[in-house]
């Protein structure tokens, strides 16, 4: 695996109100969604993963304890919106990195997707890299580490990371995928059941 000098920020602080139970603790591919995502980020080229917890910090803590390469960051302001979780992760970033990989716990991605977006981000030297499918943007998002101050300054009022994408000087590289895997988002029990049924086919490697 190439050395991307990348750190992942995994957002897992939400209330999971539409799901009705913690999304990060949902059974997924023989483990939990939280652990699956951590493993994908590490296997996909991240040197470390910062897991931002909130509402279910106590329940998730045992899965994060003593995990090599995993940093737990509790966000006490999680009720104020996702931007507070992004910033809580940014504050924990180590120095000397090249890339920041941003992903939510309810967006399951196989390691090859992480690796492809991160590799092309590095190859093209873009400020921001994101995957797309059928003309629509997806996740994960990869930011050059020089944008750390901008990420630390996002607000709910300015639509979070979208305020960075709107800047005309930002070099945004889009990576086209032939699979809707980069758009998968699990918010409801129905979406979870659908994802369980379709994920094997969606996640087939295209490398």
pLDDT at 207: 57
Over residues 120-143, the mean pLDDT reads: 97
pLDDT at 56: 96
Dig out the tokens for 69 from the structure: 């390469």
205 — pLDDT class (breaks 50, 70, 90): confident
pLDDT at 100: 98
Dig out the tokens for 60 from the structure: 């998730």
3-state DSSP helix/strand/coil % of the chain, to nearest 5: 40, 25, 40
Dig out the tokens for 7 from the structure: 């750190």
Over residues 35-44, the mean pLDDT reads: 98
4 — pLDDT class (breaks 50, 70, 90): confident
Dig out the tokens for 33 from the structure: 């969604």
SS3 153: coil
- Whether the upstream peptide bond of residue 140 has omega within 30° of 0, thus cis, is yes
Query: Structure pTM?
Result: 0.96
Q: Where are the beta strands (DSSP E) in the chain?
A: 6-12, 27-28, 31-32, 46-53, 70-74, 99-104, 128-133, 136-137, 141-144, 172-176
Name the superfamily (CATH) of residues 6-202: Spore Coat Polysaccharide Biosynthesis Protein SpsA; Chain A (3.90.550.10)
Residue 80 pLDDT > 60, yes or no?
yes
Query: Mean pLDDT for the chain?
Result: 95
Over residues 187-193, the mean pLDDT reads: 95
């Amino acid at each position: 695996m190439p050395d991307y000098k990348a750190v992942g920020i995994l957002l897992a602080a939400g209330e999971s109100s539409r799901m009705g139970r913690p999304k990060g603790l949902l059974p997924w591919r023989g483990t939990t969604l939280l652990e699956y995502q951590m493993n994908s980020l590490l296997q996909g080229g991240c040197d470390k993963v910062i897991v931002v917890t909130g509402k279910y910090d106590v329940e998730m803590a045992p899965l994060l304890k003593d995990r090599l390469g995993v940093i737990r960051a509790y966000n006490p302001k999680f009720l104020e919106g996702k931007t507070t979780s992004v910033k809580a992760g940014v504050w924990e970033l180590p120095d000397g990195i090249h890339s920041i990989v941003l992903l939510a716990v309810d967006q399951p991605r196989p390691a090859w997707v992480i690796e492809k977006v991160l590799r092309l981000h590095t190859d093209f030297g873009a400020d921001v890299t994101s995957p797309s499918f059928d003309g629509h943007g997806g996740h994960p998002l990869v930011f050059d580490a020089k944008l750390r101050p901008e990420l630390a300054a996002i607000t709910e009022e300015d639509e979070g990371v979208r305020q960075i994408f709107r800047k005309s000087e930002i070099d945004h590289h889009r990576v086209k995928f032939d699979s809707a895997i980069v758009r998968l988002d699990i918010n409801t029990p129905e979406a979870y059941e659908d994802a369980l049924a379709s994920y094997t086919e969606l996640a087939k490697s295209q490398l």
